[in-house]
Structure formats: structure tokens, C-alpha cells
């Protein structure tokens, strides 16, 4: 049995505890159980919508068939999809825009209801494997050859908007996208994860390398762009060179990377922010030679086994089962019972009961989530 706990912004009843929504929902300032099931898998945690799979797809938030009466929409029923077909969800500040099926087909939302896009993309030799949408509306799609039996040597395309991507699906020669030139070392690897935040994109390869590109003005790339490693194309985060990374997480202006050695690395932030997480690198300024990426030390150097990043906050899971959070907390997203910014890591006090342990953490824009598993005797 697994359970999903959540805290943070609940203005659209997306974190509701009971079966029916409240007329005036309140934010959750501590972690509360919102879903229970046999095999819960968290697929999407946006600012307004939560998508969870437990046999069928459960959607909480504006994507519900009626966000006023609290019913949930099963995309399996609406689109004829099965759980195995849903590879990933994608969305932006408006919420979920659709899902990407295993065959590369895009299923998109229409208003509060799912609607299948019937797209004739027979002209394209590419299958979309990953989609990410940044806060500046730019969209990146990582593709593989349609008739290939592997995902090596990906093609990376960038579009000015989600609509431009859909137009390309209908007419692949459409010139409204730009093909990003990939470094030679991407030629024989596959992409494990593609993420976006407000202004940048980050990808993780199966070899454990991290590449970033986008707007460099907010130190969101974790590297210093040069003439040979421009900000507008994917390039390796040099600080992490030689450190195999197994997970990345990104949100707001912050990105995190978690190594196979259970070390946590952070970068990002933005100039002019009123508060700043102390474990982020100093922002670039004249005479400041600090690295663009910072190795984080939590509670004397405990092993970190999972990380989630939201819009200005971070939540981590330690090997010993403890959970820590830091950053913005105005909506209760830190789960520590207070609604304020925390510059330093705060341990989250949990009351899960016996035989339960946290096995995963996720960051929504203004919320946080814990996946809890009941252990056997």
C-alpha cells in the first residue's frame, strides 16, 4: 500500500483530503494524506493540478471534468489510453496541457476536459520522447528516429510555443522551430530526463551527464556560457563533469542534481530576490569567482536519496528517512507548520504512524509531496 501526502497551495482543491472539494479551500501547512492506493505513481505536480496513476489516471485540479463538483477525470476512459501508454505529462503556468504516449502521440487538454489530438504526422521521421515547456513559453522536444529500435543520438528541437510544436506535428517541414546542435558526446547516448524552469532547460543522459541551455541572466544554467559553449544550445555543466548524476529536478530559477553517491548539487536563483536560500551559489558579480554549482551539506553531510524543486523551494529525502525543506513557504509548501521563507534547511516533523516510511519526494510550484510506503513486518 502506498500513500501520497501533500502540503502547500490548495486554492483549487487539488490537495483536498476528502472526496469532495470545499467551497473555500485552505492551504495545507503540514503534510496531509490526499491519495491512497496499491501502486501510486506521481506523474505531474503543477501549481494547480496533480496527476496520479493507480491503475487508472486520477486528476486533481482544473483538469477535472467538473472542478466544482470534485469528480475526477480518467484519461484512460476519455481517450482509450491504458496506464502503460502514458509516458509523461507536460504543462506550463496554466496547468496540464497534455500527455505524451509511448508511441509519441500527443494527447492534449481542451478547457477542463481531455481531448485527443488527431494529428497526421506521417511526414515526420521522428518520434517525440520528451517534452518540456519553460515559463517563457518556449518548448523543447527530444526526439528519436521513428523506425529505430533505440533512442540513441537524439534530435533536440526548440519551438517558440506549444502551438508551434503542434503545427510541426502536422507539417514537419514547418520552419517555426530551431534544431539545436548537440555536442558530439550526445551522439551515442539517450536522454533520461528533460526538465524546464522559468527560463532554462536541463537534460540528463543515461551516462549521468547534465546539459543546460536557455536564458543565462539568472545563473540558471549552472555554467558560464562562452563562445564555444553558448547559452542557446545544450552544453555540459562542467562542475558536474566526472560526477555521475542519477536525478535532476528544476523549478522557478533553481535546479538540483543528485549523484549516484547521494550528494546534492544546486544552482540558480535570481538577482533582486528578497530572500535567498543560503545553499545556493552566490550570484555572479565582479570579483566573485565562486563556482556556478554548489555541493550541499545538510545536517553534517547525510546522504540524500531524493529531491524535489518547486517555485523557490526544495524538499529532500535522506537515506535515514528524514525529510528536509528550504526556501519559500508562504503557502505552507515546506510542511513545517509556518508560512514564511526559510533560508536554511528545516527538518519536517512527520507523524506517519508505525510501519510507514517515505520513499519519494516531489516539488510542485507552490506545494510539496511525499510518497509513503507501508512496510511489512
Summarize pLDDT for 144-164 with one digit per residue, the tens: 876 565 667 788 999 999 888
Confidence of residue 304 (pLDDT cuts 50, 70, 90): very high
pLDDT over threshold 90, residue 79: no
What angle is formed at CA 290 by the lines to CA 185 and CA 244, rounded to 5 degrees? 35
Summarize pLDDT for 165-224 with one digit per residue, the tens: 888 877 766 666 777 766 777 888 899 999 999 999 999 999 999 999 999 877 889 999
For 24-78, the DSSP string reads S---EEEEEEEEEESS-EEEEE-SS-EEEEESEEEEESTTSSBTTTTB---HHHH
Question: By mean pLDDT, which of 126-130, 167-171, 254-258 is the weakest?
Answer: 167-171
Q: φ, ψ for residue 84 (rounded to 5)?
A: -65, -20
**Residue found under cell 482509450:** 80
CB atoms within 10 A of CB 300: 5
Predicted TM-score (pTM) above 0.85:
yes
The C-alpha atoms of residue 61 and residue 47 are separated, in whole angstroms, by 9
Summarize pLDDT for 207-254 with one digit per residue, the tens: 999 999 999 877 889 999 998 899 999 999 999 999 999 999 999 999
Q: What is the mean pLDDT of the chain?
A: 83
Amino acid at each position: 500500500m502506498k500513500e501520497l501526502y501533500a502540503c502547500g497551495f490548495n486554492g483549487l482543491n487539488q490537495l483536498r483530503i476528502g472526496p469532495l472539494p470545499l467551497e473555500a479551500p485552505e492551504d495545507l501547512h503540514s503534510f496531509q494524506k490526499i491519495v491512497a492506493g496499491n501502486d501510486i505513481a506521481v506523474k505531474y505536480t503543477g501549481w494547480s493540478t496533480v496527476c496520479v496513476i493507480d491503475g487508472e489516471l486520477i486528476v486533481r485540479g482544473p483538469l477535472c471534468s467538473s472542478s466544482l463538483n470534485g469528480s475526477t477525470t480518467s484519461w484512460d476512459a476519455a481517450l482509450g489510453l491504458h496506464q502503460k501508454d502514458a509516458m509523461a505529462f507536460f504543462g506550463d503556468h496554466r496547468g496540464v496541457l497534455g500527455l505524451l504516449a509511448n508511441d509519441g502521440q500527443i494527447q492534449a487538454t481542451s478547457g477542463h476536459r481531455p481531448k485527443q489530438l488527431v494529428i497526421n504526422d506521417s511526414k515526420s521521421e521522428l518520434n517525440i520522447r520528451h517534452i518540456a515547456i519553460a515559463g517563457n513559453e518556449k518548448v523543447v522536444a527530444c526526439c528519436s528516429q521513428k523506425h529505430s529500435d533505440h533512442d540513441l543520438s537524439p534530435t533536440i528541437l526548440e519551438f517558440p510555443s506549444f502551438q508551434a510544436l503542434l503545427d510541426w506535428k502536422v507539417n514537419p517541414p514547418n520552419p517555426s522551430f530551431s534544431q539545436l546542435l548537440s555536442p558530439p558526446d550526445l551522439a551515442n547516448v539517450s536522454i533520461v530526463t528533460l526538465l524546464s524552469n522559468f527560463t532554462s532547460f536541463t537534460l540528463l543522459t543515461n551516462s549521468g551527464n547534465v546539459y543546460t541551455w536557455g536564458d543565462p541572466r539568472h545563473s540558471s544554467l549552472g555554467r558560464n556560457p562562452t563562445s564555444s559553449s553558448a547559452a542557446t544550445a545544450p552544453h555540459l555543466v562542467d562542475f558536474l563533469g566526472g560526477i555521475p548524476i542519477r536525478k535532476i529536478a528544476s523549478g522557478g530559477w533553481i535546479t538540483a542534481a543528485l549523484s549516484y553517491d547521494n550528494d546534492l548539487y544546486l544552482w540558480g536563483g535570481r538577482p533582486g530576490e528578497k530572500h535567498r536560500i543560503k545553499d545556493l551559489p552566490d550570484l555572479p558579480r565582479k570579483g566573485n569567482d565562486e563556482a556556478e554549482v554548489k555541493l550541499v551539506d545538510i545536517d553534517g553531510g547525510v546522504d540524500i536519496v531524493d529531491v524535489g524543486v518547486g517555485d523557490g523551494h526544495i524538499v529532500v529525502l535522506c537515506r535515514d528517512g528524514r525529510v528536509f525543506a528550504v526556501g519559500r513557504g508562504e503557502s505552507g509548501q515546506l510542511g513545517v507548520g509556518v508560512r514564511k521563507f526559510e533560508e536554511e534547511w528545516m527538518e519536517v516533523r512527520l507523524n506517519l504512524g508505525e510501519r510507514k516510511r517515505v520513499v519519494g519526494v516531489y516539488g510542485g510550484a507552490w506545494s510539496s509531496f511525499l510518497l509513503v510506503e507501508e512496510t511489512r513486518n
